[in-house]
Chain A
Amino acid sequence: MKKHSHRKSFIFHNKAEGLASIVRSCVEYIEEQNGFLCVPTAIHSKIKWAITELLINGAKHSGSEESELILNFEPDKLLIEKVDSGNPLHLKINEQNVDLQWPILKSLTGQHFEVYRNGMDSLQVYTENIHQAIFRVEEVEDEEMPFLLVNTSEHFGLMIIAKASDRFSYTYHSGSRQNIFSILFNYPG
């Protein structure tokens, strides 16, 4: 079947009560249109988790009235973006006693910071430049799992997105004061 590029967007009002219906709409759209979208069914759950956690993050932290959720379907990938004009990303890095608030200081660029670890995985953020952050997960060894119970759940959502997707990043546009979270899923063309 021939594959197409396609874009679909949804408006989310950054409130917990509207979250489930937006997630359901996204999932139903992908399922119903998958004849031409051709998103592998094996990653449908991961897409659902990622969208959910993006929206939860918006409901908890955005501070704006609404976000736009955009699904960009390509023949070999899906790029999910959440755009809002609310509070820029703010991460408190306890280990290093650093506050990362975007746009970040130039002196903090080009570095990896550990956001959270659960005893087997370390969620890190790489400060690509003053406007952009890339999340990634690195496996750690020889730690006891109860670490998960010490360094609890504040960043479960970011961890879920970073582990479920192929790339997870954040960009702050100073001019428009927009926050863009981007999640990429690659699949064979």
Chain B
Amino acid sequence: MILKVNQIGDVVQATILPEEASLSNADQFKEEMITLIANGAKLIIVSFENVNYIDSSFLGSLVVALKYAMPRKTDIYLVSLKPDVKNLLTLIRMDKVFKIFKNYEQAMETF
């Protein structure tokens, strides 16, 4: 499992477990996200608290998950991004399509 999941009603807190979010685990992440969406979550808050490093493959999986989520009225929020990870998201403008929060608590407050 890539994600450690904590379900609170319609909201799923999903913490990415590996330190490296990369080509080697991008497909598994995508599959687990799609399963969560298909199971009816209305909001998935993805925590990057363990992630020191991310690459384009994993970012691609994140976008695929968002594309799958949008027509199903599921939101995906991102929380606890370390500076390097956030900088890379910003570089390719993904901060414009994902809502990013400091932590789970802050994200939960807005839902």
Which residues of the partner chain A approach B103 to less than 8 Å between Cβ atoms? none
Q: From residue B41, how far is it (CB to closest CB) to chain A in Å?
A: 19
Q: What's the tally of chain A residues with a CB closer than 8 Å to chain B?
A: 28
Tell me whether chain A's interface is mostly helix, strand or loop, or mixed. Answer: helix
Q: Mark A151-166, 1 if CB is under 8 A from B, else 0.
A: 0111011011001100
Q: By the criterion CB–CB under 8 Å, are B22 and A20 in contact?
A: yes
Q: From residue B77, how far is it (CB to closest CB) to chain A in Å?
A: 16
Knowing A53-B55, A56-B56, A121-B93, say if A153 contacts B22 (CB, 8 Å). no
The stretch among B2-10, B31-39, B42-50, B57-65 that forms the contact with chain A is B57-65
Which residues of the partner chain B approach A16 to less than 8 Å between Cβ atoms? 23-24
Which residues of the partner chain A approach B63 to less than 8 Å between Cβ atoms? 148-149, 152-153
Q: Most B CB atoms within 10 A — which of A146, A153, A154, A163?
A: A153
Q: By the criterion CB–CB under 8 Å, are B96 and A19 in contact?
A: no
Q: By the criterion CB–CB under 8 Å, are A152 and B97 in contact?
A: no
Q: By the criterion CB–CB under 8 Å, are A148 and B97 in contact?
A: yes
Knowing A119-B93, A160-B91, say if A45 contacts B56 (CB, 8 Å). no
B91 is contacted by which of A19, A48, A149, A164 (Cβ under 8 Å)?
Answer: A164
Q: Is B1 an interface residue (CB 8 A)?
A: no
Q: Mark A64-84, 1 if CB is under 8 A from B, else 0.
A: 000000000000000000000
Q: Is A171 an interface residue (CB 8 A)?
A: no
Q: Which residues of A contact B (CB under 8 A)?
A: 16-17, 19-20, 45, 48-49, 52-53, 56, 59, 118-121, 145-146, 148-149, 152-154, 156-157, 159-160, 163-164
